[in-house]
Amino acid sequence: MTGVQIDSRRVRPGDLFVAVAGGAAYLEDARARGAAATLLPDDEHAALAALGAAVRARSDARVVAITGSVGKTSTKDILAALLRPRLRTVAAEEGFNNEIGLPLTLCRIEPDTAVVVTEMAMRGLGQIRALARIARPGMGVITSIAPVHLELLGSVENVARAKAELLEELPAGAVAVLPAEAPELEPFVPARLDVRRFSPPEVEIRDGRAHVLHRGREVVFSFAARHQAANAAAALEVAAALGVEPPEGIVEVRFSRWRSEERALPGGGLLVNDAWNANPVAMRAALASLRERANGRRTVAILGEMAELGEEAPRYHDEIAREAEPIDLVIGVGELARRYAPDEWAPTAAEAVELARALVRPGDVVLVKGSRSVGLEIVADALAEGSA
């Protein structure tokens, strides 16, 4: 087999096509595209886990697992950019971080792969443990602990407990890269690990690039979002543990889709498409970055509601309303987004498209951000198409 696919459109000759989530309807398409074999499993998660674990077991590659409430995908993207010039690296695509995505990442391991950068997400207790037992990482990263998934987990303490399942699955002496300030996490850190700490570093934004000070050395990254510097610090610690020094030139980072994507708008404007997801910590950081990136230009924030915050959801939305007060124009999307006290409001992303087209002016700097359930990428796409 040359690869494992679950989307028949991505099948290449020699691949194995695994039919998941309605994929049975595409078996013939996969065969027509050259699939060497097709699999219609009774239990799709168990089948993919077995495939991923089998490929992992045959490899001597070092596996890094990244989890956290905020920044795990961006940290993965930055780490991959640091490692690829020096080591044969496989990194999770986009947000491939669940029972389907993680095994697909492992199935991309080749005989000469040196490092595998995986990402692990969860919706409840026990899920990261299950993913870690498939990937068997030798190094773990927790980017942050924040109020996410509270509807399912009930408290930030339980969020920390769930994330720390990764640490419990690491072998003795393994490197664990952890935030310096995460008190909720500390009770769950095993003493047998080699713990490396990171903090938000000193950073300057010059000429559209982030100049990050790490261990007395300036490392230049291609992004301009200040809040990504903390993710860069975590990635730099991992790279150092792997024996990889940052390059002398610019580290070119290509972020996954809908995460800090930037595109020029007419009249010298800028669109920041951060529509993949949202929580209170990420929303504050994105709004602060919007104000900084504007540099005197008019600011527009198109903000979707934040999901899965449980009983405290109204309070968290009220807090973001205060953070959004300096923004020149706020468009709220979704029922809870009314609490942002927006200048304009739409019940859905589809209805927000026309508002955005009507209200965004040439020269504006625009942030589009909301929870995945809101689907604000269609608003960003509409603004980008209008600038083409």
CB-based burial label for 25 (10 Å; 0-12, 13-18, 19+): exposed
Q: What is the pLDDT of residue 159?
A: 95
Residue 243 has pLDDT above 70, yes or no: yes
**What CATH class is the domain 44-251?**
alpha beta
Across the range 63-90, mean pLDDT stands at 97
Give the residue extent of every domain in the chain.
1-40, 44-251, 261-387
Across the range 123-146, mean pLDDT stands at 96
When the pLDDT of each residue in the chain is averaged and rounded to a whole number, the result is 95
148 vs 175, residue with greater confidence: 175
Q: What is the pLDDT of residue 302?
A: 98
CB-CB contact of 329 with 358 (8 Å): no
Reported as a single tens digit per residue, the pLDDT across 275-321 is 999 999 999 999 999 999 999 999 999 999 999 999 999 999 999 99
Residue 97 has pLDDT above 70, yes or no: yes
The domain 1-40: what is its CATH number?
A: 3.40.1390.10
Domain 261-387 falls under CATH 3.90.190.20: yes
Q: Is 96 helix (H, G, I), strand (E, B) or coil?
A: coil
Whole-model pTM over 0.75: yes
Instruction: Give residue for tokens 């697909």.
Output: 104
Share of the chain above pLDDT 70, in %: 99
Across the range 247-261, mean pLDDT stands at 92
Q: What is the pLDDT of residue 152?
A: 84
CA–CA distance, 308 with 148 (Å, rounded to integer): 7
Q: Which residues contact 140 (CB under 8 A, 6 or more apart)?
A: 64, 65, 66, 67, 166, 167, 169, 170, 174, 175, 176, 177
Residue 358's φ and ψ, nearest 5 degrees, are -80, -30
Which contacts of 293-297 are long-range, i.e. CB under 8 A and separated by 24 or more positions?
293/224, 293/225, 293/365, 294/365, 297/268, 297/269, 297/270, 297/363, 297/364, 297/365
pLDDT bin (cut points 50, 70, 90) of residue 14 is: very high
pLDDT bin (cut points 50, 70, 90) of residue 2 is: confident
pLDDT bin (cut points 50, 70, 90) of residue 150 is: confident
Task: Name which of 367, 334, 336, 329 is nearest 349 in CA terms.
Answer: 334
Reported as a single tens digit per residue, the pLDDT across 190-236 is 999 999 999 999 999 998 899 999 999 999 999 999 999 999 999 99
